[in-house]
Structure 1
């Protein structure tokens, strides 16, 4: 989710007319040819690169964000590259706006096969100092920002036996100081995916989770501080970061292979290993880094 103020859902902007005979406008040949995807929070960052790669591999994509100007610029960039694209300004923590978002896909392309819930707000704030409304804002963006688009899209995904990918984080695997609400929200959607996999097993829908590690961010990327003010993201050593294009490629591989869980980066896989077998060691490492590397969290 972008860091700009929420905007009301507006009429969708699209580069494709309503699909004839219920079929999507053809995209370029590729692994996802003939499929239609919604990527929330795709006006910028990882979401934009994931949507771009889907389009390059044949999917028709519906872009989403809250910043109308930024979203329009991304859509125009995709159009110039010859991709099949539509866009919808929508705050995904508003269920009515999510209904508009899904309707955009159906009106423009006639179906829906892939939903990637990428939009979210992050934070840089310790729990004791965090205002309750800020905690809720971060948590809502991560939980309802996935639940509401899925609820709106579910009938169409049942029809297509489609794929749902929740974008989580390695911080959901073993909590990270200064990220309480974000970690809680990302852990919640991982558990949600497991539950839905059981409840909706007979529908044929694939539910997967991608736990993203440290990733290069757009220069304007902001997170919330304890008072809800946008601030730059905490320091991350460049050698620990993957590019947005690398992360997008991994997300598409996850979808294509219909995997249940993908943990990105060696650090993420190490966290899984330590958290599973040596949790006390994991906590000791985190507590030590708080004392020695406070800039990593603050």
Structure 2
């Protein structure tokens, strides 16, 4: 069983991977829909990313884990390896293109192929636009946009070879905006539109390009977002009854990939937002404005 842990300073992908044959793929053990497949999940050291990696492992995939905190990433890798799953890991900041090349190289050098990419890593915020420092806005936006673009650019030649799958993790807040989340909403909306554009550009390649808009989800106790000044602060209040578990969200993400869907919107609230935003946008804005006045703790 492989539980390889490669350093990130490895060679990037070849200049033209489409003309460079891979070495023979490792015979991967396991059964399930993704048996014999290799998946890379960014931001999988914790939270939804970790549980998505676990769900893919349970369906037979070999998974490359990723994060920026080496200790936490190793704990996750070890836990999945101890459970009998085939995993590797790579510490990499997905807003750094060279690091993303090394991340993809970990998959290729360890397992010989890459079939599935899930761009999950991102930073969120809890701050109104007028109060945000410009560098904080950029940090949040970069994590969501370049944290999606760079891993895909590095992985694209390999995914095209196998007519694979890429799924961008967006949010229901990208569908209609959310006060105190300007940079996050902008980034997640950009990711959704990027998926649509790539679907058109790559329509004849067989590559699946999808986007999942996740809703309110239970977080790890130490989950933090950025304040207006860039300090890590707890996420704003979310009523528990509105939240799905991380495992539930991960299950839906994996189902989305298995069915090669273009878009999946999670939760009844998300579906309602789509409906209202499409057909009754003024009503949607009225509801949000009322919640700002009556439920300030929901945003602040």
TM-score by length of 2: 0.93
Instruction: Measure the CA separation in 2 of the matches of 1:28 and 1:70.
Output: 26
Post-superposition CA distance 1:180-207 (Å, at most 9, x none): 0000000001000000000011111000
CA distance, structure 1, for counterparts of residue 266 and residue 78 of structure 2: 30
Q: Which residue of 1 aligns with 2:109?
A: 107
Query: Is 1:93 the equivalent of 2:95?
Result: yes
Determine the C-alpha separation between the residues in 2 that align with 1:220 and 1:25.
38
Aligned twin of 1:75: 77
Q: Which residue of 1 aligns with 2:287?
A: 285
Displacement of 1:28: 1.7
Stretches of structure 2 lacking an aligned partner (at least 5 in a row): 1-6, 11-21
Q: Deviations over 1:267-296 (max 9, x none)?
A: 000000000000000000000000000000
Correspondence for 1:28 among 27, 30, 38? 30
CA RMSD of aligned residues (A): 1.1
- Note the 1:236-247 alignment, pairs <5 A: 236-247=238-249
- Once the two structures are TM-superposed, the CA of residue 11 in structure 1 deviates from its matched residue by 4.8
Tell me which residue corresponds to 1:234.
236
- 1:37 paired residue among 28, 39, 57: 39
Matched, 1:121 2:123: yes
1:146 corresponds to: 148
Task: Tell me if structure 2 keeps the 8 A contact 1:123–1:179.
Answer: yes
Offset at residue 88 of structure 1 (A): 0.2
Q: Distance in 2 between matches of 1:218 and 1:229?
A: 18
Secondary structure at the counterpart of residue 270 of structure 2: helix
1:22 Cα shift?
Answer: 1.9
Q: Following the alignment from structure 1 to structure 2, what is the Cα–Cα distance between the partners of residues 140 and 67?
A: 18
Distance in 1, matches of 2:178 and 2:88, equals 36
Alignment partner, residue 4 of structure 1: none
Kept after mapping to 2: 8 A contact 1:123/1:138? yes
Contact kept? 1:24, 1:35, Cα under 8 Å: no
Equivalent position of 2:66 in the other structure: 64
Asked if 1:200 is matched to 2:202, the reply is yes
Unaligned 5+ segments in structure 1 are 1-8, 13-19
Is the CA contact (8 Å cut-off) linking 1:23 and 1:109 kept in structure 2? yes
Alignment TM-score, normalising by the size of structure 1: 0.93
Residue 27 of structure 1 deviates from its aligned partner by 3.5
2:8–2:103 CA contact under 8 A, matched in 1: no
Residues of 2 paired with 1:32 and 1:192: CA distance? 26
Partner of 2:190: 188
